[in-house]
Chains A and B, each alone.
Chain A
Amino acid sequence: MKKIFVTLTRNPLSLTGLILVGLVVFAAIFADFITPFPDHRGAVVDFLNFNQPPSWTHLFGTDLVGRDLFTRVIYAYRISLILGIVVLVIAVPIGVSIGLLAGYLGGKTEFVLMRMTDVFLSIPPLVLAMSVMGLLEPTLANGMIAVTVMWWPWYTRLVFNITRAEKEEGYVLAAEVIGASKLHIMFREILPNCVPSILTKMTLDFGFVILIASSLSFLGLGVQPPTPDLGSMVAEGARYLPDSWWLTVFPGLAILIAVFGFNLIGDALREILGVDQ
């Protein structure tokens, strides 16, 4: 682990990624302390100050009801990161387990599991998420469910392919000859060999999850006001371009920074861990 971190800091690109992500995470955790108007993340109204361009008091300006945009963007980061973590924490174990079972057991198990996965993979992700949201109330929690539902199949596919190859390796044969249980072989022998690919994908996915969640909010399906969400902010602000440009530009930049940072790290990880995806 330490060696990976050191290598990441050597490369200028991945170092940039680390810095960007570091900033995002720092901001999300310490939002209460670094934002000038913490309560503006909620339902606060200050019509005297509404629609103000960026100034020293309000670094990113204010939104249409007078809330400090900087504060809202920082808190929105918190929401996005939580979303990312929850989605991946749920989707990855499900997807990985299905992939392992299908890849190692083969036969009917493989057929059933992989065809089911194919069904999920063949529906455009956003459409799937939208359908799920259509059935549920638009809240943050349900937004997370929607994104999770569309996310696990990609991990299944990834792990399925690796498992099928690793299944033929000598160490799997050795474990079988020793008499180890199938469960042991899948989760204690093969899974560790999938970890580099899974980790790399998770890092890249973080950025994507944020984007998808933002897209959902953009369509009005995700997080609801007054909870700040980067996508919703971009959507609302778009109507007031180019006059109140700060309403769109800063949230948009925030999305860009987060996604870009995660992508840079993910790319570097891919090279370091020798993953050829």
Chain B
Amino acid sequence: MSLLSVYKVSKQFTVGDSVVQALDDVSFDVQEGECLAIVGESGSGKSTIANIILGIYSATEGSVLYKDKELPDKRGKALRRAIQLVQQNPLSSLNPRRTIGASLRLALDVHGIGEKKDRNGMVETLLEEVGLPSEFRHRSPAALSGGQRQRVAIARALACQSRLVVLDEPTSALDVLVQARVLKLLEDLKQRRNLTYIFITHDLSVVRNIADRVAVFEKGQLVEIGSTTDVFEDPKNPYTRRLMAAVPIVGRDEQALRDKLSETMK
């Protein structure tokens, strides 16, 4: 069964006098337990569709179904709990004036998870699960590095015990080594907790190594979707090819793949 279904979704924004078509008739499914990557450049609509799925915006046309039931514009707590978000910017996603523990407890308090007296302990368990020392719950975000903050953001998404997690460029702001560790963590967590990921990024190399399926967006339209192996080895859409040809690479074998793609583009 598809956990999530996006059905013919369009979204328009009015900016002053002009109308921007951020999404145009987009449809796709997300299967339970998979990692679906949504890739595109700026203006592709990848963040817009994420915001619609999360209930931050409402679609101008079309609908989003979660477990076969349409998601309403205004969501109750139960639905909020089901779908969570990990944001890109580790700096601004944590309240600078609250401790890590307070930010993590929020989810537990809002949804009444566990007994009140147990919640601090639950926060510590969450921190350990994402590879951070439990005493971090007393610290403020300013004392943590970017990678550590991103782990806290992941812990926060887990706190709600949600099954579907939307990750909007979760590692784009991180250094190379830190990114690898955080991606590994995400992979492990997905296995252990049987999570479903919608992974939004512009970085195709990351997608290749973490996603089961990939959806390519260009200027508000879904131009290609398929299994990662299929899309990467034989991209059908010219935009997908252009994207791949532009990705910075570091190895000889990657060079060979890129050359092959550039050949077909000529």
Contacts and interface: CB of A to CB of B under 8 A. Distances in A.
Instruction: State if A and B touch, Cβ cutoff 8 Å.
Output: yes
Contacts of B156: 174, 178
A176 interface: yes
Contacts of B92: 169-171
A180 B95 contact: no
A176 B83 CA distance: 12
A192 B95 contact: yes
Nearest to B81: A179
Contacts, number: 61
A256 interface: no
A179 B111 contact: yes
A170 B149 CA distance: 13
Contact of B106 (A180, A192, A195): A180
The contact size tier of chain B is 20 to 34
A192 B85 contact: no
Interface in B125-170: 153, 156, 160
A174 B98 contact: no
Contact of A178 (B80, B89, B98): B80
Contacts of A180: 106, 110
Given A177-B56, A178-B110, A189 B81 contact: no
B84 A192 contact: no
Interface residues on A, range: 10 to 19
A253 interface: no
Contacts of A175: 95, 106
Interface in A103-153: none
Interface in B17-72: 54-56
A189 B77 CA distance: 18
A193 B97 contact: yes
Contacts of B54: 177
A82 interface: no
Contacts of B122: none
A173 interface: yes
B80 A174 contact: no
Given A178-B84, A179-B81, 8 more contacts: A170-B92, A171-B96, A171-B103, A173-B85, A174-B153, A176-B56, A179-B111, A192-B98
Interface of A: 169-171, 173-181, 184, 188-189, 192-193, 195
20 contacts: A169-B92, A170-B91, A170-B93, A170-B94, A171-B95, A173-B93, A174-B85, A174-B94, A174-B103, A174-B153, A176-B56, A177-B85, A178-B80, A178-B110, A178-B160, A179-B80, A189-B95, A192-B95, A193-B95, A195-B97
